[in-house]
Amino acid sequence: MGTVEPQVAADAQAAVTDGFQLVIDALKLNGIDTIYGLPGIPITDLTRRAQAEGLRVLSFRHEQSAGYAASIAGFLTQKPGICLTVSAPGFLNGLNALAHATTNCFPMILVSGSSEREIVDLQQGDYEEMDQLAIAKPLAKAAFRVLHAADIGVGVARAIRAAVSGRPGGVYLDLPAKLFAQTIDVAAGRSSLIKVVDPAPRQIPAPEALERALDLLRGAKKPLIILGKGAAYAQADADIKSLVEKTGIPYLPMSMAKGLLPDTHEQCASAARSFVLPAADVVMLIGARLNWLLSHGKGKTWGGKGHKDWGGQKFIQVDISPTEADSNVRVDAPVVGDIGSCVCGLLAGLGNWPQPPADWLNAIHEKKSANVAKMAETLAKNPSPMNFHSALAVVRDIVRANPDAMFVNEGANALDFTRSIVDMYKPRKRIDVGTWGIMGVGMGYCVAAAVVTRQPVIAVEGDSAFGFSGMEVETICRYNLPVCVVILNNNGVYKGTDINPRGGDVAPTVFVKDARYEKLMEAFGGVGVYARTPAELRQGMEQALRSRKPTLINAVIDETAGTESGRITSLNPSAKKK
Ligand SMILES: Cc1ncc(C[n+]2csc(CCOP(=O)(O)OP(=O)(O)O)c2C)c(N)n1
Ligand SMILES: [Mg+2]
């Protein structure tokens, strides 16, 4: 019988599982197949074992990029994007993305290893000592710590529910080093795991709220619909399109809602934005908040006399959160529920819907036509050096020809001009700086967009914006992702012409002149293109989309072309001083 003994021992050994394994099992059980992270103590073996178990583990050069990737994966998939970091400094590098996810309502879980509780709590100076849970809490929708292997299932389940239910957000999950090596009985481990049932339950709006909203909208003389990224997140594309088309109401897409209906749709009022906002009498917000991006629903943008005066509009607000209404101005008809259920309810109640008054539609049409014609004239010019417009006329054509490509955008002028010039044709294609106007999301977004959608990715980046995540071009090359980065290079932040009046150092907004960013991509085996004309840019982009090779096009833009802060010059305190 002696020969059987090793088998018994092996069985006995196999009859336990550990913290590493339970974390992996819990994620897999809940359909999570990708981890965005950066290895090191105490999570290196978690990344190795996750990969060995068939999870896709994408390693970044900086946790911030991994975090942004996870956050946008959450936006695109409605499943929490997982960012995995080491303790203290790694955790802090990921924290920006966690806060970004919470602010933008993207479901994400920052999973971070942490140091020994006993030492951290007595502040005895552990390796990478930090009370991470306390620091994460105010920046996250929820924050949890797991101390026992048997609780990993509950911890992961709670994190998933918190991230995706109701208004989605960033969740922090703290896993101390000791947890990973803890062993428990395999059967007990298995039964401790939870497959989350209905993680983001539908929230049905009240019938009277729908009726109130429809009554208000029906009586409007100058109705307007504003679609926010909450509407894009909801994946209720067909119903949203149907609601807009059946009501015949003009609509404005917020930046990341572009493409929910094609920007070329006849009801799209983007080209007449500064006309419709002050003129509208009833505005229905769908998954859009009245924050700074909509001038808080008041002030001159909305036809108010002073910069804080109400313009007289009545608002209908369709939102998942009951506390969103009245955040800035009175909301006369809040409709609270998930966007899909709300839009479905509104559609059901339309009945014999009267089309909006013709004079309203005609006035918008007139403004639109005039502005579109003016823009066409500007875009047709071919100045030398190239400016934002002549470069973006090329990008606009390429996106029109490749409507399935994902589109990443950050910068100031590089953002604002692109948003207004480059039309989107399909939902959730455009991903950008979001609620905060944050720089640094670029390359992380590119990685996640390529991995999640398997579509080619086009990124239009300011040269400053690109710098925040530029090292991730190595990540893009390593995973051989079909990403075409276009840097609109104007030698600096806003423009490259500032002068330091004292001489010596260059001005704070100015970079090295004629920097050759394309060589960064070549350094890792990708394709670099130096483009000084629209024709060279077009050729580079077409080639990149054909080859699906990682490509970086350094598009040289007139360094005098930008304006201070792009389109938000008015937020600069110096502008307020006047
Ligand atoms: C994390 C972060 N840091 C700083 C800023 C301030 N900021 C706004 S736009 C911008 C860069 C603008 O320059 P660039 O990307 O080159 O765009 P350009 O206007 O030159 O086209 C900066 C630094 C920010 N928004 N986010
Ligand atoms: Mg610039």
3-class secondary structure per residue, 475-510: HHHHCCCCEEEEEEECCECCCCCCCCCCCCCCCCCE
**CA nearest to 103, candidates 574, 547, 436, 490:** 436
Query: For residue 5, what pLDDT band results from cuts at 50, 70 and 90?
Result: low
Q: Output the CA angle 421-556-255, nearest 5 degrees.
A: 25
Do residues 334 and 322 lie in contact, with contact meaning Cβ atoms separated by under 8 Å? yes
Q: pTM for this one?
A: 0.96
Q: How far apart are CA 232 and CA 426, in angstroms?
A: 10
Å from CA of 511 to ligand 2 middle: 9
**Pocket (CB within 6 angstroms of ligand 1):** 411-414, 437-440, 462-465, 488, 490, 493-494, 562, 566
Average of per-residue pLDDT across 86-99:
98
The residue whose C-alpha atom lies closest to atom 13 belonging to ligand 1 is: 493
Closest listed ligand to the CA of 409 = 1
Å from CA of 464 to ligand 1 middle: 6
Tokens found for residue 465:
């914006």
pLDDT at residue 9 is higher than 60: no
Closest listed ligand to the CA of 417 = 1
Closest listed ligand to the CA of 565 = 1
| Chain centroid, CA 443 distance in Å | 12
Residue 58: beta bridge partners? 36
Return the ligand 1 atom nearest residue 562 CA: 19
Give SS3 for 57: strand
Q: How many helices (H) and strands (E) does the chain have?
A: 24, 19
pLDDT at residue 552 is higher than 90: yes
Give SS3 for 204: coil
pLDDT of residue 198: 98
pLDDT of residue 564: 85
**CA nearest to 403, candidates 430, 423, 425:** 425
Pocket test for ligand 1, best of 292, 494, 554, 557 (most atoms within 8 A of CB): 494
- Torsion-angle region of residue 146: left (phi > 0), alpha (psi -120 to 50) or beta? beta
Cis peptide before 250 (omega within 30 of 0): no
| Secondary structure, 3-state, 451-480 | HHHCCCEEEEEEHHHHHCCHHHHHHHHHCC
Q: How far apart are CA 283 and CA 239, in angstroms?
A: 19
Q: Catalogue the E-assigned strands of 2-62.
A: 16-18, 34-37, 56-59
- Average pLDDT over the chain, rounded to an integer: 96
The residue whose C-alpha atom lies closest to atom 2 belonging to ligand 1 is: 439
Tokens found for residue 429:
């294609």
pLDDT digits (tens, 9 = 90+) for 303-317: 999 989 999 999 999
pLDDT digits (tens, 9 = 90+) for 253-263: 999 999 999 99
Main-chain dihedrals φ then ψ at residue 432, nearest 5 degrees: -150, -155
pLDDT of residue 315: 98
Å from CA of 491 to ligand 2 middle: 6
pLDDT digits (tens, 9 = 90+) for 332-360: 999 999 999 999 999 999 999 999 999 99
Tokens found for residue 351:
């009945």
pLDDT of residue 1: 41
pLDDT digits (tens, 9 = 90+) for 381-438: 999 999 999 999 999 999 999 999 999 999 999 999 999 999 999 999 999 999 999 9
pLDDT of residue 569: 78
Å from CA of 79 to ligand 2 middle: 34
Closest listed ligand to the CA of 460 = 1
Å from CA of 156 to ligand 1 middle: 36
Main-chain dihedrals φ then ψ at residue 17, nearest 5 degrees: -125, 170
Å from CA of 509 to ligand 2 middle: 9
Å from CA of 492 to ligand 2 middle: 4
Å from CA of 135 to ligand 1 middle: 27
Beta strand pairing status for 16-18 and 183-185?
antiparallel
Q: How far apart are CA 123 and CA 451, in angstroms?
A: 41
Å from CA of 461 to ligand 2 middle: 8
pLDDT of residue 354: 96
pLDDT at residue 23 is higher than 50: yes
| Chain centroid, CA 464 distance in Å | 19
Q: Output the CA angle 567-485-568, nearest 5 degrees.
A: 10
The residue whose C-alpha atom lies closest to atom 1 belonging to ligand 1 is: 439
pLDDT at residue 12 is higher than 80: no
Return the ligand 1 atom nearest residue 440 CA: 1
Pocket test for ligand 1, best of 103, 493, 564 (most atoms within 8 A of CB): 493
Helix (H) or strand (E) holding 252: strand 251-253
Neighbours of 11 (CB within 10 A): 9
Closest listed ligand to the CA of 438 = 1
% of the chain surpassing 90 pLDDT? 94
pLDDT digits (tens, 9 = 90+) for 449-508: 999 999 999 999 999 999 999 999 999 999 999 999 999 999 999 999 999 999 999 999
pLDDT of residue 130: 96
The residue whose C-alpha atom lies closest to atom 4 belonging to ligand 1 is: 439
The residue whose C-alpha atom lies closest to atom 25 belonging to ligand 1 is: 438
